[in-house]
Homo-oligomer: A and B are copies of this chain.
């Protein structure tokens, strides 16, 4: 066993979501619903730029996505179909095709966590607001083989 430097670390170790980028959310939602014996969930569209304040690579972006969710134990499985761009979702679909885009953790100090991760060489790649909270995607693929998502919900 080696001992890591624990001085700066994520405040949460509870994986709360697995996010998959797909080409056709209705087709994928039907496949998962059939797999699990569940009703097909309706998809929702992320908020437009003026509400979501979406920023990709530091610039405002009109990118949106269709989202659908399945509850699998304590983990939420999120299906994501990119709509327009530029976004981390669209970039993933273009460069890697369909697959698991991110794993998510709920945190309470977005600015502090983003700064800590940037100091570890994992910079912010996209952020946005949603009704009741905000999200941030972290460019951690080189280190962690997957993108991290931070979720901060309003109290």
Interface string of A35-70 (1 = CB under 8 A from B): 111111110000000000000000000000000001
Instruction: Return the chain B residue nearest A117 by Cβ.
Output: B35
Instruction: Say how many copies of this protein the assembly contains.
Output: 2
Name the interface residues of A68-124: CB closer than 8 Å to any CB of B: 70-75, 77, 96-100, 103, 120
B72 & A15 in contact (Cβ 8 Å cutoff): yes
B35 & A9 in contact (Cβ 8 Å cutoff): yes
**A83 to nearest B CB, angstroms?**
17
**A119 to nearest B CB, angstroms?**
11
Instruction: Return the chain B residue nearest A38 by Cβ.
Output: B4
Q: Which residues of B sit under 8 angstroms from A145, Cβ to Cβ?
A: 20-22, 28, 98-100
Could you tell me which A residues sit within 8 Å of B by CB distance? 1-6, 8-10, 13-16, 18, 20-22, 28, 30-42, 70-75, 77, 96-100, 103, 120, 141, 143-146
8 CB-based A-B contacts, threshold 8 Å: A1-B39, A1-B40, A13-B71, A14-B72, A14-B73, A15-B18, A20-B144, A99-B146
